[in-house]
Amino acid sequence: MAIIGKIRNRAGLIIGAIGFAMLAFIAGDLITNNKSFLFGNKNELAVIAGESVSPLEFNGKVEELTKQFRLNSGKDNPDPQQTDQIKEQSWDEIVKQIIYGNEYKSLGIVVSDEEIADMLYGKNVNPQVKQAFTDPKTGIFDPQTVINFLQNLDKQNDTIRTRWYAFEDEMKKERYETKLKDLAKFGLYSTTADSKRFFNNSNKLAKIKYVVADYRGIADSSIKISDEDYQNYYKDHQYEFKQQETTRKIEFVTYDVNPSEEDRKKVQEWADTTLAELKASTIDDTLFVNRNSDTKYDGTTAISKKGVLPPNIDTLMFKEKEGFIYGPYEENSSFKIAKLSKIYYIPDSVRARHILINVAQGQNPDSAKAIVDSLKKLIVSKKAKFEDLARKHSQDQGSAIKGGDLGWFTEGKMVKPFQDSTFYNKKGDLTIVQSQFGYHLIEILDQSKGEKRVKVVFIDRKVEPSTKTFNAVLAKANEFVSKVPTGDKFDSVAKKAGLRVTPVENLKEVDKGLPGIENGREIVSWAYRAKQNEVSAVKAVGSKYVIAHLLEIKEKGILPLELVKHKMEPNIRREKKAAMLIDKMTKAGGSSIDDIAAKLNLTVDTASKVSFASGGIPGKAFEPEVIGKLFTLKQGETSKPWKGNGGVYIINVTEYYDNEPAPANYKGIQARVMSAYQQKTESSFLEALKDLANIIDNRGKYF
């Protein structure tokens, strides 16, 4: 990006502005677990449009998105759900990169440096750039502000530079995609004939009389379906059974492992013993908690207002003296002991001032701390005034001009280390704390009247299944497996054992979870290794034992007849019923629709405002095939028996009429038709290219 590179140099734009500009491109949930792949380049994670993608390439994209996440969230480690999100996002980006990249190359699509410059500070500025660089005081965007920022970009810290480069790349990528989609969209055209047809389909209305012989009048049990029927329907409707990707159909049962009464009694005994130890303890309460409790004390939630603690102890803790102990008591499958550790009187609001010294990217925090220590010594020794030092040294420019004065503030307005220092110390105290912004030298100027707060510590232990309990349930699960060597008896044995069988359709190789099972990855992997009708061994998943049965293997492409018979049956049955009813109605004859109805013991219905575009009879069934044929009839003409979705119809058109006069010209309608074409093209564009790319996705073999 030569032009941009020539003018990059200037500091002074706040980090928040860049962070805002990045929001549209760097999602906060794009994170990863830093897991590396140890595969060679010879392994194929995927093949997209004939291009091989290795696990190492995929991992590179994951790491790239991880860095973006870290810059924007400040977090290092993802949770499992976030890990899945970044992997899926990485996959989507690789697919688009290859598919769109091929199109760019074949169509000669380029995005020049001049275009990028135009989007940053030219006549067609990117909306994200414009909003981020608009002066908040005047509401005016000045392109020179962007130029100044770019001219000093090399002097910004690594975080800002990395974010900006990522933003530029994403903006360029977006322009490429826009050009490609515009070529497809604006290559479509609606003729005047299209517009007239579109208008007439909605505007031309019909009044009809009709009879319908409902398929439900023939019992399903009376319809016999032969192998030839299946073969013929399958041959004529294979397009209906095209499988876009490989999937599996399974079913499974679970044995939940719950604590026994013996398990519960052991925890209760622990609680009684711990209570005696707590009463005799001479060590700090938080240390006792961290030595004995499942839930460790982290110092962030222990000091409470009235009404915040659980209802069973809230009133007690605000009435009793320090040292009061409540419990053991049982709550949420745990035994707990609560102790009133300390009573405080905390102000509702505080007035304070501060001097902030930032810790720059890559800087040793000790150097910032040393500066704050030296400033504190000057104030304590009365060699300098707080407000003078704040104006000269504080890097919080908003308060520095006021001598560091932050005014009055309530709880929740400041970051926690700062808040705790001002609310839990006394008026006049001079303290030093570290936050994510750097080191603060704080002076408490004033405090409102104190409100009673209590520090309550909790010692708890969850009632969990013991090894003995797990083994007992495992024995039952293994007994079930022994009764179903193949899947033929899976459902019947499960029913006899009182187990719920959970079916799973269209299980993908990259799926992670199953219904009611958060991490079912081991079951999914098994399903892609197993043979049809195979039953798995017992799988331990969290606090459950799972046994699965592989019902169907559905490979990408046209599904085999045996797998789709159950889908064909209703349609074949309907075809046979339609043939029977058409034959019956044809033989009945009749001079009018009323005569036909009388002979067949059917009711004549009427309908008005029937349009071609509606695809159905108002207030009745959706019958697009029947309605399509209807508008081939002349006014006054009666149809032959026509097969529909819900029955066989005979229709008489009593009148055609227009809903409104035809327009003088069709330009407005033409624009709407073109817009509809373009919207449909844009929404289905990528999926169409994916289908042509013949993607082979092997991710499930690597995760």
Q: Predicted confidence band at 324 (pLDDT cuts at 50, 70, 90)?
A: very high
3-class SS of residue 69 = helix
Is the domain of 48 the same as that of 151? yes
Q: Dump pLDDT digits (tens) for 194-229.
A: 899 989 988 999 999 999 999 999 999 999 999 999
Closest CA to 504 of 565, 542, 549, 539: 549
Q: Is residue 211 part of a domain?
A: yes
Angle at 196 between CA 190 and CA 198, to 5 degrees: 75
Domain boundary among 538, 554, 570: 554
pLDDT of residue 534: 96
Q: Is residue 301 part of a domain?
A: yes
Is the domain of 39 the same as that of 161? yes
Q: Dump pLDDT digits (tens) for 238-272.
A: 999 998 889 999 999 999 999 999 999 999 999 99
Rg of the chain over all Cα atoms, to the nearest angstrom: 37
pLDDT of residue 362: 58
Is the domain of 332 the same as that of 470? no
Domain holding 267, by residue range, is 261-346+458-462
pLDDT of residue 538: 96
Is the domain of 435 the same as that of 307? no
Strand partners, 409: 350
Is the domain of 75 the same as that of 168? yes
Between 73 and 305, name the one with better pLDDT: 305
**What stretches of 381-460 show up as alpha helix (H) in DSSP?**
386-393, 397-400, 416-423
Structure tokens at 590: 């009749």
Q: Is residue 674 part of a domain?
A: no
pLDDT of residue 643: 96
Strand partners, 248: 507, 553
Is the domain of 58 the same as that of 167? yes
Q: What integer is the mean pLDDT of 627-643?
A: 95
Structure tokens at 4: 């941009």
Q: Measured between alpha carbons, how far is 225 from 459 in angstroms, rounded to an integer?
A: 68
Tell me: pLDDT of 40 over 70.
Answer: no
**575, 236 contact by CB (below 8 A):** no
* Residues with Cβ within 8 Å of residue 121, at least 6 apart in sequence: 129, 143, 144, 146, 147
Q: What integer is the mean pLDDT of 28-48?
A: 51
According to the 3-state scheme, what is the secondary structure of 131-179? Answer: HHHECCCCCCECHHHHHHHHHCHHHCCHHHHHHHHHHHHHHHHHHHHHH
**334, 462 contact by CB (below 8 A):** yes
Q: Is residue 671 part of a domain?
A: no
Domain boundary among 438, 462, 486: 462
Is the domain of 539 the same as that of 576? no
pLDDT of residue 8: 34
Q: Is residue 283 part of a domain?
A: yes
Between 2 and 108, name the one with better pLDDT: 108
Is the domain of 588 the same as that of 529? no
Q: Is residue 99 part of a domain?
A: yes
Max Cα distance, the chain (Å): 116
Length of the chain equals: 703
Q: What integer is the mean pLDDT of 555-584?
A: 94
Is the domain of 174 the same as that of 103? yes
Q: Is residue 65 part of a domain?
A: yes
Q: Dump pLDDT digits (tens) for 541-558.
A: 989 999 999 999 999 899
Would you call the peptide bond into 328 cis, given omega within 30 degrees of 0 as the criterion?
yes
**701, 509 contact by CB (below 8 A):** yes
What percent of the chain is predicted at pLDDT more than 90? Answer: 69
Is the domain of 158 the same as that of 265? no
CATH number at residue 359: 3.10.50.40
pLDDT of residue 594: 92
**What mean pLDDT, rounded, does the chain reach?**
88
Q: Give the chain's domain count.
A: 5
Q: Dump pLDDT digits (tens) for 48-75.
A: 999 999 999 999 999 888 888 877 776 7
Is the domain of 326 the same as that of 284? yes
Q: Predicted confidence band at 161 (pLDDT cuts at 50, 70, 90)?
A: confident
Strands annotated E in 298-386: 303-304, 325-331, 334-347, 349-357
Tell me: pLDDT of 32 over 60.
Answer: no
Q: Measured between alpha carbons, how far is 578 from 644 in angstroms, rounded to an integer?
A: 8
Type of residue numbered 476: K
Between 5 and 517, name the one with better pLDDT: 517
Count other C-beta atoms under 10 Å from residue 301's C-beta.
9
pLDDT of residue 25: 32
Domain boundary among 448, 478, 507: 448
Q: Is residue 35 part of a domain?
A: yes
Q: Dump pLDDT digits (tens) for 347-361.
A: 989 999 999 998 875
pLDDT of residue 683: 85
Structure tokens at 699: 């991710």
**What stretches of 642-698 show up as alpha helix (H) in DSSP?**
667-693
Taken in order 86, 88, 94, 97, the sign of the CA dihedral is negative
pLDDT of residue 285: 92
Is the domain of 18 the same as that of 161? yes
